[in-house]
Structure 1
Amino acid sequence: MKLTDRTGVGADNHTQGMELLALHRITELIGSAVDLETTLQKILGVLENTLQMERATLLFLDKVKQKLVIRASCGLSAHEELRGVYNLDEGVCGKIFQTCSPFVVPDIESEPLFLNRTGARTRVSRSKISFLGVPVVVGGNPEGVLTVDRLFGDEVFFEEDVRFLTILATLVAQFVMLHREIEKKEARLIEENQSLKAKLHQVHGDHFIIGHSKPMQEVFSIIDKISSSNVTALLLGESGTGKELVARAIHEGGSRKDKPFVKINCAALPETLLESELFGHERGAFTGAHAERPGRFELADGGTIFLDEIGEMPLALQAKMLRVLQEKQFERIGGSRTYDVDVRIVAATNVSLELAVEEGSFRADLYYRLNVVPLVLPPLRERNEDIPLLFSHFLGKSNERNNKQIKLTSELLDFMITYPWPGNVREMQNLVERMVILAENDRLTLADLPPNFFKTEKPPREVEKKNEAIVQRTVEPKRKSLQEIEKIEIEAALRRNGWVQVRAAKELGLTERQIGYRIRKYGLNRYDSFR
């Protein structure tokens, strides 16, 4: 129907005031909106409460079904909403959608296009109802229809109502566009977050290497570079830094990932048993050898063998290990048959093999064969920024295992970041499990920490005390300068640690960069020290 003013006069000041009030309330709703459907429903509620526009509905295009369906309403039951489905060219709503123009039905009883598909008007006298609808245009294209019911009366002005509803439909369209942009942004953030997690949490089966600090990014970079090759890798670092996880990452990142990953701790077994575990034995080779048994190298054929604590391997076994590295061949204990194996070797140690070579407890030729690609795993105290991420990961896993929902306080997290973690990641994992199991509340605090945690001093402070004592003993009688004392102590630490800078720095409580700077500053040289 062509728009006309039923009374022929404009809206009075009171009507304009109510419209402004309604718009003010609606803009407040949109400004604080979170959920699309809930906000749209509240907007329609304002129409009824402020302007007496009843049974307001917002229909939107279902792009899959190619039909107009009710997304929000006021005054309709859920069952009535479900019935409000229209073809794109059906009834008044279809006409509004197709023509992208407003439509007014002064008397729904006399309008054949008015279908009353919802059945919502059966509860009231249909002879006193008008029906108004305007299109909702998003980005220049019709996407929906906004409709309301009006009661007959001289105070009703259709043109003013349509003008107001058109303004409201524009606001709704902008709100829908904003909501879609937010959804797109959230989708991008989720995708980026998943991508970031994939980088921070290098997943290898059920194993996680977690960290976004610079030292860990360097570790990830080396893993990526060597995984695809068969090069021997030597993992260095303190106990508990995750050397086995890195070994698995190297294995599963390469072409051997579908083959066995076999591990053995060289420090956990005496020499005779270790040789049997590594290379196997024949029946009757020694007392108790009632049957032949393949060794770990045979079991790892085609895959990877992880030799943990390689620095503790007895000298007598090292020669046989060197042959396996060089020729990929060995014999079982008590046998003469030579076995050929295709095995990638990843070794790990928390001691200085260079120092062990100088002391004569480790073969130099084996060391050089193992030290093809050394990979130093940083201690946890040197990657503080990873601590919140690691703690959160272990807390989530422990909550899952123990069927709890425990969280941590910021006070505890601050303490975790400053704690030196002498046991590194393994210590943190065990601590979190203990705290979750023994927790009496739903939040972990400093009170949940074991008492010994407050007695542990940072390694740098221990070294600082030691240096203070040295200074007190040295300065008084000899009157040396602090620089001379520092030079003497650094050179002495280097000598004690076989000139391995990492170990000397650890003893002195310095970083590798700090000790390197002092070595250059004082012109220290291992060869000069023997003159």
Structure 2
Amino acid sequence: MTTSPYSEHKLAVTHRGDLIERQFRCLCEASAILARAKSIEETLHEVLKTLHHDGRLLHGVVNLYDPENSLLQVGAIYMDHEGVKTPKVVYRSGEGIVGRVLEQNQPIVLGRISSEPRFLDRLETYDLTLPFIGVPVRDLEGKAIGVLAAQPDVPADDYLPERMEFLRAVAALFSQTVRMLVNVEEGRDIARERDALRREVRGKYGFDNMVVGHSEGMRQVFDQVRRVAKWDSTVLVLGESGTGKELIANAIHYNSPRAHNRFVCLNCASLPENLLESELFGHEKGAFTNAVKQRKGRFEQADGGTLFLDEIGEISPLFQAKLLRVLQEGELERVGGSQTIKVNVRIVAATNRNLETEVEKGKFREDLYYRLNVMAIRLPPLRQRLVDVPELADFLLTKIAGQQCRSLRLTDNAVRMLMSHDWPGNVRELENTIERASVMSEDGVIDSDLIVLPGHQLRTAPPASSVSIAKETVSVSDFSDRNFSDTDVDERERLIAALEQAGWVQAKAARLLGMTPRQIAYRIQTMKINVRKL
């Protein structure tokens, strides 16, 4: 039986209508899947599954371009059996047929895969006797950001152009969804990174890591920080340079209800007065030369959080009056502006000056001093808490060892040498000294010969033979009635009282005082306590 040309044309139209109807249903299903999209890979996989079963386009693959590494990698693939993981297959731009689609940013249709020598078949899933279609996935500017590829389930026929146009329509749907999903997942990554950084910062400035030292002065400081952190009271941190005032300010902020908002710092001594006003209050466009746009100041940046004003004692009396208004009213005006801006900022200020003396001399406003001095925390200099030097040295050495990615150790002689110094530069000088010694150490062991204390006089402790036996001998009757837990008692007397109660067993005395045996041993040595032999 022969078929007339008319009959053949009518049969072709009927088949074309079936194809268009099937593609329309498939496109509707793909749109529904993309509308409820969650993760990129899961969504792409579901659409490729629909193309396979409803659109009769097999082995669908979505390749996404990674601009950072200049590679095209498989983002999702569908095969008609379970348990197939996305293969780690990549292409460079222009490599193979998929790479050429990306490079040329145009569809490529192969009537038969085996007839194209440039087809790489790295996935090893295609029927080489069937056609292949690859179309670009484009961004809003029309640039190729990926490739959608699939294989029709019948040999080359007159409908390959229709199948290619259908895949282009699906790729257009992919384009917007992929961009949206990438942005969502990047947002999740940013949120996870933010949360991880918050945990890291809170761990860094947490009380467990901050409490280094068991001297009475530092224990009082830690107790004050714990108490004040949970309230919004203004805090004034007093202490010599290098005692860790900024560390205390960080600990207050990151252990407060404001921890999820910004911690903003400004060293008031680092800027001249005209720039300090703009830096703190901000400025409007055109307020002065080079003010080419509006800029928020530190107060606005710290809104809802904490503003740390270091070296507050260095600002001039004129600027003190401007600062006082913001602290009292919580209102400011940008330089060159007239709009009143309200801010909710917690203030932590710090200085190494004696502000009471500055007030008496007329160099610091009395009303500003009282506004700042709501809760004062005074950090003792290191020379007044030499008993903390071994623990501080261990803490700093661990930090430096982490930076140098190796193990470091201080010998007992090195620790004794560190404890014999006055430390006018306080903890900062101690850290610099230890870091310098660690750099000079080849094997990670730091002995006294590597401890260099330039420019400062060493405190030479008298030799043990010169110490009066009568002075150092401890009488049971002198301290047996002392309470080692009484904080009003001198630290040396508390230590001796604990030793008496522990029968002069240092490990037991350490447990009574909440210390380590090494800390007890160093305190006995530095306080020149003659240990009784029982």
Q: TM-score, normalised by structure 2?
A: 0.47
Q: TM-score, normalised by structure 1?
A: 0.47
